[in-house]
């Protein structure tokens, strides 16, 4: 454009400023820049403060920032930008300076209560030059901030430390820079302190890592979302994995799986009720297949940052300045309402019309079923490319801002990526060539994946005594045994005929999820006189997937699987903890080992329950 294209000088000036900002934003994409408080502005993308390591989590963000650019994903989808949030990392040498200048190492490594460690760290001072950099940061970014750990051990391919350390949110909306600085400084020191909390020390000891060698970088990241009155949150948050060990119908393990929630990602990460979908089959939503199922298995509450809460000092409870609210409170805002469906009591059905009154449930039908936002395509691409870039299966966390002016693009923000192949859940499991004499149960139909080594309790229904008419009584007995095992802190294997959780007592035992919630492995074992098609865990699917419970289906009468019930019946009296006409509870002296290889999925999944060693 030329100067003649503008009616006034101010319009030309604004145009030039925007062009320069866009150019600087383009230059910043795909690189990690050195933080300069004199030049840091709204066009900055990813910067580091310090000369040390970025830590595991921040290295993952740097990888995303790079491949989003050279894979040309940022603007691939019309009307959407795919990017990382504005991010600043305090490298590990800042942590070392903080620890040394405040003489904290000896105290932190001693055996103190978490409250004492946090209080001592909050009293300490950050280096003066870092405080000056933080002033520049909170002056430029006027949205809430997430302050996350990025330790030298975190997201390791050998012993991942994900979820061990603290994450804090700061409102960062006060008109006083000093208040915003104090919030951020407290949050940084809180993350530093969590390096030495008891849980972190115990985890390090269990993984044979030396807590003395741990070094903590800190990620300060702009929170994706919008303010809604006194609250701030994204319209959509989620976690996606490139392997799905609970595939249903036409889903395949390698197509991945994702969980979505309205509001902050805390809902997803902490295992609250979310919407589960396959990026390759986004319209096949099991949780929406029946109105009753939708009512009980979709999100009811969401997390948001409280913009007016007192956010200093930080506390052990990371959610101290968050609010946990009913989804109905988000519905009046149109961008959120469009993510919900409304239950029509008269017709006993859900409507996807956002404007009608009634009971709201978060279904994401507008973006998954009606393609109002290309979420499934973006997630699928990121999982495929991320796995290729890291040469292993990955997990990504993301958030979306859909509430934008009509002429602005909506945003998909990738918050982090981490490898998952070497975690316990994703480790390779060898099930082939198991000696049949060692197997209590073997199967070729199962959901889940992994190795279970610590199960010494088996609750099973006696096949010879099973009576359909007695299933309500059996359900009460199983529930009572579950309560006792919960109180004892002991996980167990549950075995029985028919469908666990069926509302029809003639098809199986009518338990509720709370009646069997402490079972790590659930087995449906059909009888010759009681053959029912396996449920594949459909009655409790949300609970099974969220808690990663193994679900095995066998039909020995038809040659489908093996079940050595004679072995269970032959156990000595000292092994029997409970016994009645229908149910028996055995406690073995040594653990049974359960192996499930879910890499092939569904009817190709192999599973075996091995008898305990003598």
Q: What is the 3-state secondary structure (H, E, C) of 335-402?
A: HHHCCEEEEECCCCEEECCCCCCCEEEECCHHHHCCCCCCHHHHHHHHHHHHHHHHCCCEEEEEEEEC
Give the span between the Cα atoms of 250 and 601, in whole angstroms. Answer: 10
Taking CB atoms within 8 Å and a gap of at least 24, the contacts of 62-68 are 62/32, 63/389, 63/390, 63/417, 64/386, 64/414, 64/416, 64/417, 65/29, 65/30, 65/31, 65/32, 66/30, 66/31, 67/385, 67/386, 67/389, 68/29, 68/30, 68/414
Give the span between the Cα atoms of 273 and 134, in whole angstroms. Answer: 36
- What is the pLDDT, as a whole number, of residue 530? 52
- What is the pLDDT, as a whole number, of residue 604? 62
How confident is the model over 565-570, as a mean pLDDT?
94
- What is the pLDDT, as a whole number, of residue 102? 98
How confident is the model over 563-589, as a mean pLDDT?
95
- What is the pLDDT, as a whole number, of residue 250? 85
Q: How many other β-carbons are positioned within 10 Å of the β-carbon of residue 436?
A: 9
- What is the pLDDT, as a whole number, of residue 158? 44
How confident is the model over 456-485, as a mean pLDDT?
93
Question: Where do runs of H (alpha helix) occur along 39-109?
Answer: 56-70, 92-101, 105-109
Q: Say which range, 272-276, 443-447, 558-562, has the weakest mean pLDDT.
A: 558-562
65 close to 32: Cβ distance less than 8 angstroms: yes
Give the orientation angle of helix 128-140 with respect to helix 177-194, to 10 degrees: 120
Q: Coil, helix or strand for 80? A: strand
Give the span between the Cα atoms of 114 and 483, in whole angstroms. Answer: 31
Q: Coil, helix or strand for 406? A: coil
Torsion sign across C-alpha atoms 135, 139, 140, 142: positive
Q: Is the pLDDT of residue 143 over 70?
A: yes
Q: State pTM to two decimals.
A: 0.81
Quick one: which of 516, 508, 280, 243 has its CA closest to 379? 280
- What is the pLDDT, as a whole number, of residue 541? 75
Q: Is the pLDDT of residue 264 over 50?
A: yes
Q: Is the pLDDT of residue 5 over 80?
A: no
User: Which residues, in sequence order, are bridge partners of residue 396?
Assistant: 240, 417
> What is the token pair recorded at 254?
């390698």
DSSP 405: -
DSSP 329: G
> What is the token pair recorded at 49?
């403060």
392 confidence band (pLDDT: 50, 70, 90): confident
Q: Coil, helix or strand for 262? A: coil
Give the span between the Cα atoms of 525 and 509, in whole angstroms. Answer: 12
Q: Is the pLDDT of residue 251 over 90?
A: no
Specify which of 96-100, 273-277, 416-420, 527-531 reaches the highest per-range mean pLDDT: 96-100
Give the span between the Cα atoms of 122 and 78, in whole angstroms. Answer: 46
422 confidence band (pLDDT: 50, 70, 90): very low
- What is the layout of strands, in order, in the sheet containing 322-326? 226-228, 231-233, 301-306, 322-326
Q: Could you give the percent of the chain with pLDDT greater than 90?
A: 55
If one compares 92 and 353, the residue with the highest pLDDT of the two is 92
Following DSSP, what letter does each residue of 129-178 receive, concatenated? HHHHHHHHHHHH--S-EEEEEEESSTT-SSS--TTSS--EEE----S-HH
Q: Is the pLDDT of residue 491 over 90?
A: yes
How confident is the model over 126-154, as a mean pLDDT?
92
157 confidence band (pLDDT: 50, 70, 90): very low
216-225 residue pLDDT tens: 999 999 999 9
Average pLDDT score, the chain: 87
- What is the pLDDT, as a whole number, of residue 309? 83
Q: Is the pLDDT of residue 557 over 80?
A: no
How confident is the model over 277-281, as a mean pLDDT?
96
313-351 residue pLDDT tens: 889 999 999 999 999 999 888 899 899 999 988 888 898
- What is the pLDDT, as a whole number, of residue 168? 96
Give the span between the Cα atoms of 293 and 298, in whole angstroms. Answer: 8
**In degrees, to the nearest 5, what angle opens at C-alpha 320 toward C-alphas 318 and 325?**
110
If one compares 188 and 356, the residue with the highest pLDDT of the two is 188
- Give kind and range of the element (H or E) at residue 66: helix 56-70
């Amino acid at each position: 454009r030329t100067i003649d294209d503008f009616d006034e000088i101010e319009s030309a000036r604004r145009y030039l400023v925007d062009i320069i900002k866009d150019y600087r934003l383009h230059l910043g994409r795909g690189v990690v820049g050195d933080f300069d408080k004199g030049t840091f502005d709204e066009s900055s993308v990813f910067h580091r403060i310090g000369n040390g390591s970025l830590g595991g989590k921040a290295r993952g963000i740097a990888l995303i920032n790079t491949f989003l650019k050279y894979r040309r994903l940022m603007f691939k989808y019309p009307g959407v930008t795919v990017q990382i949030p504005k991010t600043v990392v305090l490298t590990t040498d800042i942590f070392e300076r903080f620890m040394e200048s405040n003489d904290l190492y000896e105290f932190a490594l001693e055996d103190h209560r978490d409250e004492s460690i946090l209080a001592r760290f909050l009293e300490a001072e950050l280096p003066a030059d870092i405080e000056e950099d933080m002033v520049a940061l909170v002056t430029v970014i006027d949205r809430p901030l997430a302050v996350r750990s990025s330790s030298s051990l975190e997201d390791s391919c050998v012993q991942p430390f994900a979820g061990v350390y603290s994450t804090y949110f700061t409102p960062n909306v006060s008109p006083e820079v000093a208040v915003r600085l104090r919030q951020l400084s407290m949050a940084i020191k809180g993350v530093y302190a969590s390096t030495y909390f008891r849980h972190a020390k115990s985890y390090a000891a269990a993984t044979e890592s030396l807590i003395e060698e741990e070094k903590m970088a800190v990620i300060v990241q702009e929170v994706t979302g919008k303010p809604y009155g006194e609250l701030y949150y994204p319209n959509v948050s989620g976690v996606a994995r490139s392997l799905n060990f609970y595939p249903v119908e036409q889903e395949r393990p390698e197509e991945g799986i994702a969980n979505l929630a309205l509001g902050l990602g805390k809902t997803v990460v902490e295992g609250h009720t979310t919407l589960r979908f396959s990026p390759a089959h986004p319209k096949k939503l099991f949780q929406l297949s029946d109105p009753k199922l939708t009512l009980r298995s979709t999100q009811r509450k969401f997390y948001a940052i409280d913009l007016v809460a007192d956010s200093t000092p930080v506390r052990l409870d990371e959610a101290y300045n968050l609010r946990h609210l009913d989804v109905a409170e988000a519905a009046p805002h149109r961008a959120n309402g469009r993510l919900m469906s409304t239950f029509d009591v008269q017709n006993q059905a859900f409507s996807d019309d956002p404007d009608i009154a009634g009971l709201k449930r978060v279904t994401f039908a507008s973006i998954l079923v009606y393609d109002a936002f290309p979420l499934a395509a973006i997630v699928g691409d990121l999982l495929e490319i991320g796995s290729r870039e890291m040469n292993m299966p990955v997990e990504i966390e993301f958030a979306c801002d859909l509430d934008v002016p009509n002429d602005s693009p909506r945003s998909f923000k990738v918050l982090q990526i981490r490898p998952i192949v070497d975690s316990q859940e994703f480790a390779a499991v060898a099930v082939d060539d198991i000696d049949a004499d060692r197997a209590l149960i073997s199967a070729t139909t199962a959901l889940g994946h992994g190795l279970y080594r610590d199960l010494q309790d088996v609750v099973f229904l006696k096949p010879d005594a099973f009576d359909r008419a007695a299933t309500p009584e059996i359900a009460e007995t199983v529930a009572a045994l579950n309560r006792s095992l919960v109180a004892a802190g002991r996980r167990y294997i549950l075995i029985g005929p028919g469908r666990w959780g069926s509302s029809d007592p003639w098809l199986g035992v009518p338990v509720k999820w709370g009646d069997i919630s402490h079972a790590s492995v659930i087995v449906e074992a059909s009888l010759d006189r009681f053959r029912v098609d396996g449920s594949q865990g459909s009655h409790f699917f949300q609970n099974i997937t969220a808690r990663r419970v193994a679900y095995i289906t066998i039909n020995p009468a038809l040659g489908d699987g093996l079940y050595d019930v004679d072995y269970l019946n032959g156990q000595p009296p000292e092994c029997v903890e409970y016994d009645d006409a229908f149910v028996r509870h055995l406690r073995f002296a040594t653990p049974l080992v359960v192996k499930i290889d879910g890499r092939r999925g569904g009817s190709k999944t192999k599973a075996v329950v091995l008898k305990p060693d003598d």
